[in-house]
């Protein structure tokens, strides 16, 4: 197994591998649906958006991990703030610092764009995800997530 892992921006040719990674992630996130076409469309929209970033962790020419980030303006902060989503590392590649590197890289991209706060959602049952995010500096807030779908 090659040991060198490069963190780079995502590109259209990564979409199929990223859809497979998202399938793994959404399988543990009860709120989200596995639907390859939607995930392809979402990734294509992110690639085109000037306020979004997709990062890939590449090893041996394959994408073994990813994260996405999007900027919104926070009136509380009076500045942009980052929503980090879609963080997942292939099981065989976990525990080698790839998740931390992906989160640091997306934070640094946001920092360069003036973001003063970083935020994300974690499934209530995802203890691994919560432990990881605590370890890399995130803390629980008093906010909960509510949502509504429309046609």
Ligand X SMILES: CC(C)(COP(=O)(O)OP(=O)(O)OC[C@H]1O[C@@H](n2cnc3c(N)ncnc32)[C@H](O)[C@@H]1OP(=O)(O)O)[C@@H](O)C(=O)NCCC(=O)NCCS
Summarize as ranges the residues that interact with ligand X (CB under 6 A). 25, 87-89, 94-100, 120, 122, 126, 128-129, 131-132, 135-136
- Select 12 or 137, whichever has its Cβ closest to ligand X: 137
Residue nearest ligand X by beta-carbon distance: 99
Residues, the chain, total?
151
Helix/strand/coil for 108: helix
Least gap, CB of 69 to ligand X (angstroms) = 13
- What is the smallest separation between the CB atom of 133 and ligand X, expressed in angstroms? 6
Pairing assessment for the beta strands 62-74 and 52-59 based on DSSP bridges:
antiparallel
Residue closer to ligand X, measured from CB, 10 or 99: 99
- Cβ atoms 59, 4 nearer than 8 A: yes
Q: Please, what is the Cα angle at 32 between 97 and 5, to 5 degrees?
A: 20
Q: Of 97 and 114, which CB lies nearer to ligand X in the complex structure?
A: 97
Residues 6+ apart with CB under 8 A from 45: 52
Nearer to ligand X, 15 or 101 (CB): 101
- Least spacing, CB of residue 151 vs ligand X, in Å: 28
């Amino acid at each position: 197994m090659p040991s060198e892992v490069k963190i780079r921006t995502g590109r259209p040719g990564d979409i199929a591998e990223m859809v497979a990674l998202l399938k793994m992630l959404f399988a543990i996130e009860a709120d989200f649906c596995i639907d390859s076409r939607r995930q392809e469309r979402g990734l294509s929209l992110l690639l085109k958006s000037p306020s979004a970033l997709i990062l890939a962790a590449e090893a041996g020419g394959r994408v073994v991990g990813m994260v996405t980030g999007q900027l919104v303006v926070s009136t509380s902060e009076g500045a942009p703030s980052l929503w980090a989503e879609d963080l997942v590392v292939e099981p065989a590649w976990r525990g080698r610092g790839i998740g931390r590197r992906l989160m640091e890289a997306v934070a640094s991209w946001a920092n360069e764009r003036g973001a003063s706060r970083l935020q994300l959602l974690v499934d209530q049952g995802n203890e691994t995800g919560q432990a990881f995010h605590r370890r890399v500096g995130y803390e629980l807030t008093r906010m909960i997530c509510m949502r509504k779908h429309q046609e």
